[in-house]
A and B are shown apart, each in its own frame.
Chain A
């Protein structure tokens, strides 16, 4: 059994959830500011956690802040931006070793929690603006990060494919926004963005580790008193349930290997059972080294090195991506679609059905073994608005039938075919 999540509301739109497990040697606190993901605010908001990471009122110096962390046995203070369907998650987290491993009896956990609160709530104000130097540096870093998307061709192709497919839907917006919007960031706009975020976000704090969450919880309640966001986060609309037609896109770049991305609509599985069935369908299709895409497209057709399918519950879309020789594009696409057809006709074997269940079962059982997997699992549960434990998910999984999986597969329709490939003149 996993340790239960202790979830408490500390104020309006402020929640503190914790899991305490003595087997760990670390403590981690993660603050998630959940805001709507919009083209016009994505970049402005995305820069904020990185600007905050530069220092706070009582420790304005970046190097001194880093020295403080190093002194806390290399505690890590990280800024991050994530995406959950049509929501943007601005994340600040701190992670450090437990006090019992301190060589000189230091209070590592308490100081880490305090630091995180200060980073979040006491920025370096210059009147109404955030610190100019910090803003300008992090603005440039954000622009670099957006532009660096193309460095990793696989993830670039995947996000291009999704952006093309979901154009006009909230899910099309990238988590960092666009360079054009990032260019507009100023110390003043950053101050404004910060105030907007703290006024409109849903704040989800997660504490996971071996220590007691009590003092951190009290600290957050105290520091947030009178400062809780006042506006409630609105739900986002999911995209289409079904593709109307297949849209094809080709992008050319100087690459050796072509990347093919197939984007599918999923029928938007609604109930927990339907979502679990879709997840199981995805596992049989392309979620493991014994799934159909791996066995048929990679091993039998020998077309590619990777070819997984992914189901994103938050946005309700499924993707398949692979790296291939350009001339094999039709063969690979045909191979993938054939396997989906097999799923829709219920043509998968009992063995595949059982293996996929076992594999998902293993994943649920091991959620509790790492801080990161617990954080990912529970945050996604919290954001989906339906809290359950890995054990409850397991129970649902065990009860799924072949028919439910086939039904889930029948909701799949091909929406977008995106190919990233070499420059045309080089093909000859």
Chain B
């Protein structure tokens, strides 16, 4: 029987904020286990490094081929169907609350529970490693996902975001909607689902991250019992040939909204996935410096009634691609766009004031500390760091060590007006 103390591939990582074990299981799966004292609940994430952007790949040395858009998300829905019935029905017997999500670069299955964690974990490991698709169940899912896609078509926040990605990226598949289109999912069949499953639901390409109230030995015992050693991982994603420019400067759509919604994005230089993640704290500080709530620009825009409380900035990351996005509602989005670009150029030219830098860095640091207050974000950040090939302590060190000079260099080299775009969703009534 396995135990942590005699397992050859266990590493304990201790930081001020979190204490976790990283285990390379013999099946090929990486386990990231963070028991958290005092918490009643447990959150488990079983994820594969496969998302909506992986729409062209080859297996076992064959040439890359395209799969329909939205297939990763479709596969996520279909995994809940098992030969023995529905996985939700099995979780119903444990009291756990189960769910799943698909993003651009990963698909995660999860549950949170306060009791019976072993039973729930067994179900999770079991159903994600047992695919079962038939023509009938695939067809039924096309109806449900069709309605999910319809729902997003009416969602202005979603539309303004994907329209921006479409403006920033020329070829990168991140610009395609995660759920695909009604037309693209109509092409999905059981064989294609198996192709994706066999390619990417390989334990060597997956992680189990658990945080909260559980025994680490129990997780190891279950992994030993359920997981069989995975074959070599052979899936190769087609390289994305993304030019060093944006697709469109401005994109506009009309929908039933009250006030216009906008997103302003800077396309940042693509790097490898680890470098991108390590740059993220810098970009988060820069967002605060350029237009955070304590910045001069935020003040001016707010006082002029050009933005309201919905205004926010975020760093966007997907594998080799990165962007910084400012979003909100405005009666004059073009003016907001112009002002953000002007402020960025001013800070490039005149330099970031040291006290602004110190303050914004503290603000971002505090946000990272906050993540460790709850079980869910702990499991999520461990999983994200692993898929990006960065260890959590490294990420936190990177954040603490950021200097003003380093931040200025990032601002001056990565942020270019030439690679900024504006997406706007306008009310229908303007047209009449």
Contact = CB atoms under 8 A, between A and B. Distances in A.
Nearest to B308: A141
Interface in A128-149: 133, 137, 140-141, 144-145, 147-149
Given A71-B362, A298-B144, A324-B147, A144 B114 contact: no
A21 B140 CA distance: 47
A71 B293 CA distance: 12
A75 interface: yes
Given A23-B36, A74-B365, A302 B97 contact: no
B222 interface: no
A70 B39 contact: no
Contact of A361 (B115, B147, B212): B115
Interface residues of A, number: 71
Contacts of B372: 25
A342 interface: no
A74 B113 contact: no
A62 B143 CA distance: 50
B389 interface: no
B366 A359 contact: no
Interface stretch (A167-175, A213-221, A248-256, A270-278): A248-256
A70 B86 CA distance: 47
Nearest to A359: B95
Contact of B92 (A74, A145, A358): A358
Interface in A14-29: 21-26
Contacts of A66: 292-294, 298
A257 interface: yes
A150 B256 contact: yes
A343 interface: no
Given A70-B359, A290-B89, A304 B144 contact: yes
Interface stretch (A82-90, A96-104, A222-230, A380-388): A96-104
A269 interface: no
A153 interface: yes
Contact of A21 (B17, B38, B143, B359): B38
B38 A255 contact: no
Interface in A283-336: 288-290, 294-295, 298-299, 302-306, 323-325
Given A151-B157, A302-B144, 6 more contacts: A23-B39, A72-B366, A97-B370, A144-B258, A150-B257, A358-B93
8 closest pairs, A vs B, by CB?
Answer: A73-B366, A23-B38, A358-B95, A365-B114, A147-B258, A74-B366, A74-B363, A355-B92
30 contacts: A23-B38, A66-B293, A69-B363, A70-B293, A70-B294, A73-B366, A74-B362, A74-B364, A74-B367, A140-B305, A141-B309, A144-B258, A147-B259, A148-B257, A154-B151, A253-B256, A257-B147, A289-B99, A290-B86, A298-B144, A302-B143, A302-B144, A358-B94, A362-B115, A365-B41, A366-B112, A366-B114, A369-B39, A370-B373, A370-B374
